Amino acid sequence: MENQSECYYHRMYMGRLFMLDIIDYAGHGPEIITGNIFISDDESESIFAFTRARIPRALELGFGSSSSLFEFLDPTRLTFPACLVAELETSLPPWEKHRMATDVSLEHRRAFILTPDGTVMAGWNATWYVGPVEIDDYRFHPVAVPAGFVPDHIMHTDNDTVILTMGDRRMIGGNNAHGELGLGHKNRMTGFVDLPFRVDRIMAPYRDCNLFLSGRQLLFAGRVRIDFAKGLLPRNHEGDEILTPTPLRFPERVKGFFASDVEADTLELIWVTEGRSHLFKVRNEPIIIPFEATAVSGNSIRDPSGQWFWVWHQSGGVAVMKECDDCSDVQEIALIDVDPWTRML
């Protein structure tokens, strides 16, 4: 397996994953790295993780207290003293260690590991997912789910909402201070509950509301933001709390959707329809982009041919675009197929 990016070169060789920092090479040889990958080692027969960043990684990997801010210079064993997963780990021979983790998710200083014996979690606000634990207990704990529910898939974006799936059954957990889980209440969560509506994807990484792709609808739950109150939720005002999943009211079929995760004063919302796009910025009136946007980068927008533009000015609610250079830090606009509101009546 090989993978090249702008900064790193990866190669799998003889069961080891090697990484070469191309920019900072300076004569150094490649090094074995696992990043956010959990691997087994023949000598110690354990699960390991490796990170090079000086951030609170120890917290989200379940190593202890939030004061553990350090850099792992060597692969470091993950332990599971607070859950039965430890028994599964020790029971597996070295050549079967790959069966330990069926899926791994690390987002927003939280780690979830799916195993054949259940799911474990460590990190911030663990009570929302595992039930009551000490506030400074950052060890891995089993998530609070009904007996026999062993997830095979996880939805975990850069916000507090997590959806676990086992076959056709889905369960949801996380922060619910504004009703953003769509459960009809704002009760504090201490584990996962059955998801009462279909969710195919969590579309936006907001902290106080959620956007769920549900079939051919985009459903909103939580505290209403100003950009959604401008036409897409016409019965609501900024700051209202919507406790049950409510469809956004698009006047025409939507082919693409993007919601930025930057600070509120520069928040962008783009939805793409046939031949054009609709751009919403906080405290500004929505404008029309005269092409189907495919990606964004800062204030720049890419058209279907790959050319980048920025909004020079607007005339009659339609943007006048100017070409600009290719951009880095590109965020692709999600391709969706959502019906107009009139067809849902």
pLDDT digits (tens, 9 = 90+) for 255-289: 999 988 655 445 478 999 999 999 987 667 789 99
- Kind of pairing, strands 300-302 and 318-324? unpaired
Which pLDDT does position 37 carry in this prediction?
A: 40
Name the percent of the chain lying above pLDDT 70: 69
The answer to whether residue 156 scores a pLDDT higher than 80 is yes
pTM over 0.95: no
Pairwise pLDDT comparison (330 vs 67), residue with the higher score = 330
Could you tell me what percent of the chain has a pLDDT over 90? Answer: 43
- C-alpha neighbours within 13 Å on the C-beta side of residue 280: 18
Q: How confident is the model at residue 16 (pLDDT cuts 50, 70, 90)?
A: low
- The predicted-structure confidence for 170-209, as pLDDT tens digits, reads as follows 999 999 999 999 999 999 999 999 999 999 999 977 889 9
Does residue 217 carry a pLDDT above 70?
Answer: yes
Whole-number Å distance between alpha carbons of 211 and 8:
33
Structure confidence at residue 274 (pLDDT): 96
pLDDT at 227: 77
pLDDT of the residue at 201: 94
pLDDT digits (tens, 9 = 90+) for 226-251: 778 777 998 899 899 999 999 999 99
pLDDT of residue 219: 96
* Residue 10: per-residue pLDDT: 56
Q: 67 falls in which pLDDT band (50, 70, 90)? A: very low
